[in-house]
């Protein structure tokens, strides 16, 4: 794995860390935790690549990227729902159950990820009122699906280009999420 792969993984880590801090300071704890999980996957990727522990950290990186990404997505979606005024009785229990299902039944991970993206898009698209509707944010939120389905596996791109475009789009996605959550949620007490 070439060393330059660490650059875009590092960008995901940086955006994830700074975005999580930004959200946390504004009382958006679920969103902060979700964004942080994406950043953690990026940080593990950087460590894996720069340390030369490509094979020994592959499983941890994959787990953080896939299962951590799923949990992060659902945490972000729960924050969007909370921004709509929804009172989720136990979002962490629900997210833990979704994550456990993905670990116990790995084939459930892709549909659960798609469901989380669709839920986030629907919340942003339909909203509860004129101030809550954010169709462009919904389209931005949906950006992750073609990124995962097509860019990551694009046969027309070289492996290096696939890696970098995929990770750049993840970093952009995180940045847009932080912006949207901050614009919608404001400061919570």
The radius of gyration of the chain's CA atoms, rounded to the nearest angstrom, is 16
Kindly list the domain boundaries of the chain, sorted by start residue. 5-185
Contact 33, 72 (CB under 8 A): yes
Task: Dihedral sign for Cα 105, 109, 110, 113, please.
Answer: positive
The conformation of residue 107, written as its DSSP 8-state character, comes to: G
Residue 11 confidence (pLDDT):
98
Handedness of CA 49, 52, 54, 59 (dihedral sign): negative
Length of the chain equals: 189
What's the pLDDT at 90? 79
The answer to whether residue 28 scores a pLDDT higher than 80 is yes
Q: What is the mean pLDDT of residues 141-146?
A: 85
Q: Is the pLDDT of residue 188 over 60?
A: no
Task: State how far the Cα of 54 lies from the Cα of 1, in Å rounded to an integer.
Answer: 7
Write out pLDDT tens, residues 36-74.
999 999 999 999 999 999 999 999 999 999 999 999 999
Local confidence band at 96 (pLDDT 50, 70, 90 cut-offs): very high
Query: Is pLDDT at 110 greater than 50 in this prediction?
Result: yes
pTM: 0.91
pLDDT attached to residue 184: 60
Provide the terminal-to-terminal Cα distance of the chain, rounded to the nearest Å.
Answer: 45
43 contacts: CB under 8 Å, gap ≥ 6: 13, 16, 17
- CB contact set of 114 (below 8 Å; sequence gap of 6+): 145
The reported pLDDT for the residue numbered 189 is 35
Query: If phi over 0 gives left and psi between -120 and 50 gives alpha, with beta otherwise, what is residue 127?
Result: left
In this predicted structure, which of 61-65, 122-126, 180-184 has the lowest mean pLDDT?
180-184
Distance CA 35, CA 29 (A): 10
The pLDDT of residue 130 is: 52
């Amino acid at each position: 794995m070439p060393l330059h792969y660490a650059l875009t993984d590092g960008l995901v880590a940086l955006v994830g860390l700074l975005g999580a801090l930004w959200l946390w300071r504004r009382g958006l704890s679920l969103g902060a935790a979700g964004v942080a999980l994406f950043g953690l996957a990026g940080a593990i990727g950087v460590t894996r690549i720069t340390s030369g522990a490509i094979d020994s950290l592959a499983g941890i990186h994959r787990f953080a990227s896939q299962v951590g990404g799923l949990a992060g997505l659902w945490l972000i979606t729960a924050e969007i729902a909370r921004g709509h005024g929804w009172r989720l009785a136990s979002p962490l229990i629900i997210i833990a159950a979704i994550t456990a299902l993905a670990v116990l039944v790995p084939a459930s991970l892709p549909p659960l990820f798609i469901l989380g993206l669709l839920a986030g898009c629907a919340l942003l698209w339909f909203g509860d009122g004129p101030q809550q509707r954010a169709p462009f944010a919904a389209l931005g939120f949906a950006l992750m699906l073609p990124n995962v389905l097509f860019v990551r596996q694009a046969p027309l791109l070289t492996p290096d280009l696939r890696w970098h475009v995929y990770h750049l789009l993840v970093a952009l996605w995180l940045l847009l999420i932080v912006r949207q959550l901050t614009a919608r949620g404001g400061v919570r007490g």
